[in-house]
């Protein structure tokens, strides 16, 4: 059997790229609870639909449920939808929250360097947004508490290099854990 070689578009020769209804490339492989791709045909967790426009309150509620279930990667996708659909003056907030969720994802996957970096970046973004907007508790979220949680977890994962339990270490969006 000959090894597969890469084609011009980066896919393995003889394979077709996964595409959505509009023809955009999408990875349809199943994923685990931390968003890691699994082999085709494996049983994964249900993925978050992309491009959903939610109210800020619904975004926070859905993201909290996913964080509590140990699925921070999926919470990141919910925050990413808000980042892309909310008014320009809120994008830094939602991007920062997405970074916190991805930081927790990396820490849970055993990547302390990436986890700490994203946790700090997210803490900085939400702090910047709170300072610029004058709102420390938008949509019921305690941004100061979230920033403190993120910085503390970043320091912990850097120091110990231990993989964290995503559900056990998930923040309370309405108040730090």
CATH architecture for the domain at 56-160: Orthogonal Bundle (1.10)
Summarised one tens digit per residue, pLDDT across range 109-140 is 999 999 999 999 999 999 999 999 999 999 99
Q: pLDDT by residue (tens digit) across 36-73?
A: 899 999 998 888 778 889 999 999 999 999 999 999 99
154 within 8 A of 116, measured Cβ to Cβ: yes
pLDDT cut 90: percent of the chain above it: 69
Report whether pLDDT(14) > 50: no
pLDDT over 50 at 96, yes or no: yes
CA of residue 127 relative to chain centroid, distance? 18
Tokens of 6: 């890469």
* Euclidean distance between CA atoms 148 and 9, whole angstroms: 43
Tokens found for residue 136: 């420390």
The 3-state DSSP class for residue 137 equals coil
Which ranges in the chain are annotated with CATH 1.10.3450.10?
56-160
Q: Which two tokens stand for residue 78?
A: 């919910």
What is this structure's pTM? 0.82
């Amino acid at each position: 059997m000959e090894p597969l070689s890469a084609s011009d578009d980066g896919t393995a020769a003889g394979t077709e790229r996964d595409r959505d209804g509009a023809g955009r490339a999408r990875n349809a492989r199943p994923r685990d609870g931390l968003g890691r791709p699994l082999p085709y045909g494996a049983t994964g967790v249900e993925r978050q639909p992309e491009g959903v426009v939610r109210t800020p309150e619904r975004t926070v509620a859905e993201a909290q449920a996913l964080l509590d279930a140990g699925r921070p990667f999926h919470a990141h996708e919910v925050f990413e939808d808000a980042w892309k659909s909310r008014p320009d003056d809120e994008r830094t907030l939602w991007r920062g929250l997405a970074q916190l969720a991805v930081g927790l994802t990396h820490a849970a996957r055993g990547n302390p360097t990436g986890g700490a970096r994203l946790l700090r970046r997210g803490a900085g973004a939400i702090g910047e947004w709170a300072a610029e907007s004058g709102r420390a508790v938008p949509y019921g979220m305690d941004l100061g508490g979230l920033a403190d949680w993120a910085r503390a977890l970043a320091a912990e994962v850097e120091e110990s290099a231990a993989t964290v339990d995503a559900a056990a270490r998930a923040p309370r969006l309405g108040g730090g854990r």
